Structure 1
Amino acid sequence: MFGHVRPAETRESGEALRLDGVRKIYGVEGNRVVALDGVSLSLPAGSFTAVMGPSGSGKSTLLQCAAGLDRPTEGRVFVDGAELSGGGEAALTRFRRERIGFVFQQFNLLPTLDVMQNTVLPLKLAGRKVDRALARDVLGRVGLGDRLDHLPAELSGGQQQRVAIARALVTRPRVVFADEPTGALDTRSARAVLELLRGSVRTFGQTVVMVTHDPVAASFADSVLYLADGRIVGHQAAPTAETVAERMTRLADEVERQRATAGA
């Protein structure tokens, strides 16, 4: 699962995401915070990976650097075989629109646009042809085929998050990054959203990388990456809610012990 892949091998190996020695440091000398400390990973295409760790472990920073929303201080990031560097901010924005999808805890829907309009908005922003038949199909798959002309205010929280997922899928991205996508949802809506994310992997061949604090949410993934203090400290295949919860408890205890020792 981990390790380095030479750039020329990336597409042939079916690799969707790779980080090589990524460090992210905030602040200035004397007041620096190392959010990521030499993270290297490789995720295959068509996989669903959950990223977990104690508070302050670097989960969200990892997601932001991997998605090109933040630039690493050191290291390299590859999405779909292309490195996220050079070309300026405009080129990076274009790349994100073409190959990356985003689902956040906040739905970020425009209140004056209906479901269909919100879903196809990324295509319009990217100057791409709007395929309404595809959009209707995706919205049908997420259970909103009869809500196309509804405004966000007319939808439940779970339905709004489904629109956000449809919006992320309609551009046919190589990788979908989800940051606590079920954090604002009730249990039933959360399960439906997680089923949709898992279904996007199975049906559309998408690669999903999801940051979560919830062991139940993580159990929907194929595997879990564990972070602590900016480093990958574990990997678990075929997770269950019980095994994830147990591992997170052990990891949190270990981090507390290490921090207490360091501060002594």
Structure 2
Amino acid sequence: MNSTPQRGADEVVVLSRVRRAYGAEHTGVVALDGVSIGFRRGTFTAVMGPSGSGKTTLLQCAAGLDRPTSGSVLLDGVELTGMSERKLTKLRRERIGFVFQSYNLLPALTVEDNVTLPLRLASRKAEPGSVARVLEQVGLAGRGKRRPDELSGGQRQRVAIARALITEPAVIFGDEPTGALDTHTALEVLRLLRSAVRDGGRTAVIVTHDPVAASHADRVVFLADGRIVDEVYGASAETIAERMTHLGAWAEHPAVHVPGGSV
């Protein structure tokens, strides 16, 4: 399951034999162990696995937030390996959107200012009407002058999604984006992410522990002990939950490759 994926023009993110180790060579921890995977344009992928399986490390390496010990990461046609921190920061601001469980909004700023923050950090101005358009897209029309503490948790996450979309990124990464939300609100947020993929041609990759959240993705990738051990397509929450319960056994006996996959 960790074989090198075919590199096609439709793959926005490609990890090839990525290994990430922390600590000393013989006594440290290997978070990712030779992972190879591609994420295609216009697709929604959920990454699942038990605690310590390497999910967040995979996300961070794919987004250029962490550097692999070895292997390569290609994002939107750009090789991240060896790139300077300054260039990585610029790339992230221009080509990547982030959505986190904790929202990461600045309480002193209005909704509009939080949304446009990535543009300001990149010394760019918002296109006329773009802020209003993206707020309407996430269901927050007319709330641009409010501050985060005047909004519900679901509305704050909508602001975070608007902020992720404002730069028109190639890929949106989410780390447990529905983890702090109730079931109804989480479903609304997942529909927004699906809409960004379907209507905007974005690529979305989220880490989640929730089979219901993962069932909204086109593909679910399962990690165990730093390796990809299985993947499913268009699966129900029940099927995903069942696969999760058998990850330990599958890690010892990797599953057969699913036709049409990128892994």
TM norm structure 2:
0.92
Does 1:200 pair with 2:173? no
How far apart in 2 are the matches of 1:14 and 1:109?
A: 32
Q: CA deviation at 1:166?
A: 0.4
**What is the rounded CA distance, in whole Å, between the counterparts of 2:246 and 2:5 in structure 1?**
28
**1:109 equivalent in alignment to 2:110:** no
Contact conserved, 1:16 with 1:43, CA < 8 A, in 2?
yes
Distance change in 2, residues 1:252/1:157 (3 Å): farther
| Structure 1 Cα separation of the partners of residues 127 and 65 of structure 2 | 27
Q: CA deviation at 1:101?
A: 0.8
- The answer to whether the 8 A contact 1:215-1:241 is kept is yes
Which has the larger helix fraction? Answer: 1
1:234 alignment partner, SS class: strand
2:43 matched to which residue of 1?
A: 47
Q: In 2, are the aligned partners of 1:54 and 1:252 still within 8 Å (CA)?
A: no
Q: How many Å separate the matches in 2 of 1:112 and 1:147?
A: 15
Q: 1:132 deviation in Å?
A: 4.6
Q: Partner residue of 2:17?
A: 21
Gaps of 5+ in 2: 254-263
Shift of 1:124: 0.7
Describe how 1:160-175 pairs up with structure 2 within 5 A.
Answer: 160-175=156-171
1:245 and 2:241 equivalent? yes
Matches within 5 A, 1:87-102: 87-102=83-98
Which of 65, 69, 73 is the equivalent residue of 1:69? 65
Q: CA deviation at 1:142?
A: 0.5
Indicate the residue corresponding to 1:260 in structure 2: none
Counterpart Cα distance in 2 of 1:87 and 1:3? 22
Question: Secondary structure in 1 aligned to 2:31?
Answer: strand
2:157 counterpart of 1:156: no
8 A contact 2:14–2:37 mirrored in 1: yes
Question: What displacement does 1:251 show?
Answer: 1.3
**SS across alignment from 1:150:** coil
Instruction: Provide the rounded CA distance (Å) in 2 between the counterparts of 1:227 and 1:202.
Output: 26
Do the aligned residues in 2 keep the contact of 1:105 with 1:180 (CA within 8 Å)?
Answer: yes
- Structure 1: stretches of 5+ with no match in the other structure: 258-264
Matched, 1:183 2:179: yes
Match of 2:256 in 1: none
The equivalent residue for 1:5 is 6
Preserved contact between residue 22 and residue 40 of structure 1 (Cα < 8 Å): yes
**From 126, 130, 133, the counterpart of 2:129:** 133
User: What code does the residue aligned with 1:64 have?
Assistant: Q
Percent identity of equivalent pairs: 60
Q: Is the 8 A contact 1:85 1:92 kept in 2?
A: no
Question: Could you tell me how far apart the structure 1 residues matched to 2:126 and 2:250 are?
Answer: 50
For these two proteins, the number of residue pairs brought into alignment is: 252
1:69-117 CA-partner distances (Å, limit 9, x unpaired): 0000000000111111334110110011111111111111010111111
2:210 corresponding residue in structure 1: 214
Q: In 2 relative to 1, CA 255–232 (structure 1 residues): closer, same or farther, beyond 3 Å? A: closer
Deviation at 1:255, TM superposition (A): 6.0
